[in-house]
Structure 1
Amino acid sequence: MRQRLSSEPDRYRGRRRVPTPPRSRYAVVVTSAFVGAGVVALGAASNLPDAKAVSPDVLKSLETSQVAADALDQREQEGTRASRGNDRAAGAEVDAETAAKDIYVLPLDDYQFTSPYGVRFGKLHAGIDLAAPEGTPYKAVHGGKVTSAGYNGGYGYSITVQQDDGVEIIYAHSRRLLVEKGDVVKAGQVIGEVGNTGYSYGTHLHLEIHENGTPVDPIVFLQAPGRGVDIKLQIESVYAGMAAAEAAAS
């Protein structure tokens, strides 16, 4: 290598060399470049529509749709509750009707027991006699269909009511009938008035019950479990009341 002579001009004389930057400065420069690029990108993006921003019209449409959906859901729930309520009410009505069909009641509220079921004057007296003032309203002992209503020989003006199970109850010697053939009656419904028609001795209601086409004792029939009508108990209570009244008067 040739040695530079002192007489040769120094080509670098009067110039300043730029010192080589340290590695940490390179990192700062690179980072600044990335940050600047990011700022530029954000500035460009600021001119684009925001992806999260929704048009007010769209929001209003969505709100309207939601309100309609809530209304339909509420209506459906109310309809379900109403349906359940109607089902329960219908069930209650059916139960009430079923219970009403099974009820047995006394035909008269106040009466005197004058003749039992059995043989009388050599013939079967096929019912019982309950004396009461003429014109006293009497009621159906049980619900059923009126199969006969009119004058019937020795029974006088009488009514026959047939139950769903085929049992027939006859109300005889009436003064007046308040139902007609074909009518459907309920237990406790007033169907006639006590009288003295036909082969009758004194004003009374003749009550007769036929089971499977054969007369049975009304007292025993009505006392059976599930019916619970005690004509004898009613008689005893009437006599007990009379005795109490007499005792009080004396």
Structure 2
Amino acid sequence: MGPPRALVVRGWQPPASPYGPGHRGVDLAAPPGTPVRAAAGGRVSFAGPVAGRGVLSVTLPAPPGGVPLRFTYEPVRAVVARGAEVRAGQVVAVTTADAPSHCAGVCLHWGLRHGAAYLDPLSLLPPHLLRRAPSRLLPLG
């Protein structure tokens, strides 16, 4: 059995314009100390603080002549250094509560960029990770 599936507490809401309001990623329920695993294999392109919060970015290899994808995770404490090669599923950070977050509770903000464009990171997950079993009502007593 693999790691538990994270609960999405706030989904991706693309902005109408490059500088407009929106939510450029997804928020996953994650208390401080939760291991953060790389969504895909790539190279750590950034690991450090941004505006008082720890941020980790992993850049995936670009297709020939293409633009690479880049995942970001925050607020985290990186356990890998800038330049490190990571594989999908490898623990790359742990969540922190060191700085205020935009979440009502504690969460991991997971973002995805393709060049300058923000994308929904959930769009890259295999369908079996997005499906949930149907709810079942059980009799009382």
TM over 0.5: yes
The residue that corresponds to 1:196 in the other structure is 97
Find out whether 1:163 has 2:60 as its counterpart.
Answer: yes
Equivalent residues in 2 for 1:1-250 (5 A)? 109-118=4-13, 123-153=21-51, 156-165=53-62, 166-174=68-76, 176-200=77-101, 201=103, 202-220=105-123, 222-223=124-125, 228=126, 231-233=129-131, 236-237=132-133, 240=134, 247=138
Which ranges of 4 or more aligned residues in structure 1 deviate by more than 6 Å?
none
Question: For the residues of structure 2 that align with 1:133 and 1:211, how far apart are their CA atoms?
Answer: 28
**CA apart distance, 1:212:** 2.2
Q: What are structure 1's unaligned runs of at least 5 residues?
A: 1-105
Amino acid at match of 1:168: R
**CA apart distance, 1:136:** 1.3
Deviations 1:26-68 (A, max 9, x none): xxxxxxxxxxxxxxxxxxxxxxxxxxxxxxxxxxxxxxxxxxx
Question: For the residues of structure 2 that align with 1:170 and 1:163, how far apart are their CA atoms?
Answer: 11
Gap change, CA 1:229 and 1:146, over 3 Å in 2: farther
Question: For the residues of structure 2 that align with 1:248 and 1:188, how far apart are their CA atoms?
Answer: 39
**CA apart distance, 1:249:** 7.5
**CA apart distance, 1:125:** 0.9
Task: Tell me which of the two structures has the higher relative contact order, counting C-alpha pairs closer than 8 angstroms and 6 or more residues apart.
Answer: 2
**CA apart distance, 1:195:** 2.5
Secondary structure (helix, strand or coil) at the match of 1:219 reads helix
> Contact conserved, 1:110 with 1:132, CA < 8 A, in 2?
no
Q: Rg bigger for which structure? A: 1
- Aligned-CA RMSD value: 2.7
**CA apart distance, 1:123:** 1.9
> Contact conserved, 2:43 with 2:83, CA < 8 A, in 1?
yes
Deviations 1:187-221 (A, max 9, x none): 1100111223444132211110001221111122x
TM-score between the two structures when normalised by the length of structure 2: 0.77
Identity %: 27
Q: Identify the structure with the greater strand proportion.
A: 2
Question: For the residues of structure 1 that align with 2:69 and 2:85, how far apart are their CA atoms?
Answer: 15
> Contact conserved, 1:219 with 1:230, CA < 8 A, in 2?
no
Q: Identify the structure with the greater helix proportion.
A: 1
